[in-house]
Chain A
Amino acid sequence: MTNVDIAKTIAGLPGAAVLIGLLIAAALLVILVNWRLLIVALALQYILIGLMLTRVVPIELAAVKALVGIMICPVLYITARRVNWGRPEEEAEEDKAAERPQRRWWHILGAGWPVRVIVAVLALAISTGLASRNPLPIVTDLTLSRDLTTGAFSVILLGLINAALAENPLKVGIGLLSVLAGFELLYTAVEPTLTIVGLLGLTNLILALAIAYLTTAWASRRSEVPE
């Protein structure tokens, strides 16, 4: 089985399954606070956006979109790792040294998770409602247009929520990257010029570097002044 066959098999996944996966990944980016999981969810979101795009643009172009996203994730991963996943060094050392009481599984969601879940669900309800009533005329197939609009509106809205509500540069940055990714889901279908795809990819990469830089600066103060 060649790489192209594998790609075609993956692209053949049912559209509804890919859309549901995309909505879950986008919602997780709002709900989660753990930096490791956030980066995994971001990578998943980019892959699913690539998969959705295979239905409207050539598979190579969709792969370029997914690849740009997958290139961004290691940049953020290395940055997050360098800054101790956003925790002050003292806290990280204490965590290693001290015996911690057994925590419940939902500890991984961080404090205030019920509010974030409610916000994410409301945002998903608004965006899917809006998209199903007024799907943008992207392609002639109405169902496909509705799927693309739903995916794009949800990713953009949840990205905006992330950018507006979060305080640390990594989460704000992930929100901004999501806004661009959600928009590209629509825009690549209507403007599949390679130059525009390339320039948008470059914008995403420079944005990721800027986010990495700001995250490092933000975390360096936290390690200097323990809370």
Chain B
Amino acid sequence: MIFSPLPLIALPLLAAGLTVLLRRFAMLSALIAAILPAMAALIAIIYPLNNPLPLLGRDLYLTTPDRYALIYLYLCASATFLGVWRTSSKWTYYPVALAALASIAAALGARPVVVEVIGGRPFDPFNYAVLFFAIGAVLTIFPLQGGQPGVTLGTLRYLTFMVIAVPIFLAAAWVLDQYSQSPDAVNLAQTATVLLLFGIALWLAVLPFHSWLSGVASESPPLSSAFVLGIVNMAAFFLMLDLVSGIRLLNDNPVVFDVLRLMGLATALVGGALAFAQRDFGRIMGYAVLADIGVALVAFGTHTSAGLSAALFVVFLRTFGLGLMSMGLALAHTEAPDDTFVSLASLAWRRPWAAVGLVVGAFSLAGVPPLAGFAGRWGALQQAAGSDLGASLALVLSSIGVVAGVLRGLQYVLRPLDDPTIQPVRESPLTITLIVGALVLCVIFGLFPDLLSPVIRQMAAAYVIAP
């Protein structure tokens, strides 16, 4: 049982319990929250964890792509918990986020077993994965709202989209079950496909279901929004890959990929355009992530192995820029009441490290070379150009929109101080180490994205996507 996904579920839950018990000891809680998921990731690196784990009457097991996805998610979560320790005093973040992480691990472990829809029963639906993911997503409401009086709009929209997708996915599972019994019923196949695409669009925050992204990014504590935009959204992307790969009805149908590509194009373009129009760094972060989701979908929608690899690069490399930008915003929050350009004026002189994190993270999210985000976008751009020149132009425009939005904010961040007597805040060595570490990783993966290639190659090979 130890070589099953058990450590990935049990260790975060154990950490959640310990952080509640040790809530008075901030440093100890933070270290437990950071170390136990990192330990789980380490166990998953060393052992394949591919034995089945009996849970609630069915076996959970990890495939190669899900194993790598979870390792990455857990390492990102560990880094986020360290960031929370340096920027927030709220102990409640750890247990709830850790429980959400365990639930997401269960969701990825409870993926559908190869679904032979055409070949009749046995049909193993994905309803466990959907329910575990929904529980994880709803749990993140608590750190997202963060106890701020009156601030509920973004979180409420997020909750609405996450919950509405649940019946849609479960209805799709039911229709697929019926289809497996009468494979000639084309209307059932069409209904299931439409329902699955609708559910995917809701969970991935694809246009027009993106309204929560900017709300959450501007209202919520920055590292909480990073958890949702980086970890929950990334898990939703992997669930989508599992569904598309596992259900032949989807991966055999080129129209599905055309729809995903079109949705991605619209999302990337709107994300870029809206990022340009903002006067708030939090909102820019939200729209930059929206554009990034669109780019990943465009690459995936090319329906090729290379396109899938490019999409995986985009999704993986997003986390560096997102982490860095949210860390910068979280530090800036101690100086400013909100994320607006005006509130963050002269940040470079008041909190230089926060400004560095914010600006470099934003440029990485926008896909500016030589940062990590560029490597992902470059691959996606090449794939899009191979199939449609207009699509690649749209992706370039989307990046330009985000860069222009960040440059508008940069004028404020670099504005000289009105009062020359103000001294810059001295960050603690650990905070500087975290920011420098993220910066170095951001540049290293931007210059040498091939470091991720062996992992991504294995993941792409395990998915049944290409025709």
CB <8 Å contact, B164 and A179: yes
A-B contact pairs, 16 of them (CB 8 A): A163-B160, A176-B164, A179-B167, A183-B171, A191-B127, A199-B131, A207-B159, A210-B139, A211-B159, A213-B141, A213-B142, A214-B141, A217-B149, A217-B152, A222-B150, A225-B150
**Cα of A203 to Cα of B138 in the assembled complex, Å:** 8
Q: Of A179, A196, A210, which is in contact with the most chain B CB atoms at under 10 Å from its CB?
A: A210
Q: Classify the interface of chain A: helix, strand, loop or mixed.
A: helix
B residues touching A (Cβ–Cβ < 8 Å)?
A: 56-58, 127-128, 131-132, 134-135, 138-139, 141-142, 145, 147-152, 155-156, 159-160, 163-164, 166-167, 170-171, 174
CB <8 Å contact, B150 and A220: yes
Known A-B contacts A169-B156, A187-B170; the reply to A206 vs B139 at CB < 8 A is yes
Across the interface, which residues of A come within 8 angstroms of B171, CB to CB?
183, 186-187
Report A215 CB to chain B, min CB distance, Å.
8
Residue of B at shortest CB range from A196?
B127
Beyond A172-B156, A213-B141, 15 additional pairs, beta carbon < 8 A: A176-B163, A179-B163, A186-B171, A187-B167, A187-B170, A193-B57, A196-B127, A199-B135, A200-B131, A203-B166, A206-B138, A211-B159, A214-B152, A217-B147, A217-B151
**Cα of A7 to Cα of B174 in the assembled complex, Å:** 30
Which of B135, B164, B170 is close to A206, meaning CB atoms less than 8 Å apart? B135
CB <8 Å contact, B159 and A202: no
Which of B134, B151, B167 is close to A221, meaning CB atoms less than 8 Å apart? B151
Report B135 CB to chain A, min CB distance, Å.
6
Known A-B contacts A179-B167, A180-B167, A199-B131; the reply to A172 vs B150 at CB < 8 A is no
**Cα of A186 to Cα of B170 in the assembled complex, Å:** 11
Residue of B at shortest CB range from A199?
B131
Which of B138, B160, B166 is close to A172, meaning CB atoms less than 8 Å apart? B160
**Cα of A195 to Cα of B131 in the assembled complex, Å:** 11
**Cα of A193 to Cα of B145 in the assembled complex, Å:** 34
Q: Chain A 162-183, CB within 8 Å of chain B: the 1/0 string?
A: 0100000100110010011001
Across the interface, which residues of A come within 8 angstroms of B148, CB to CB?
217
**Is A48 among interface residues, defined by CB-CB distance under 8 A?**
no
CB <8 Å contact, B134 and A203: yes
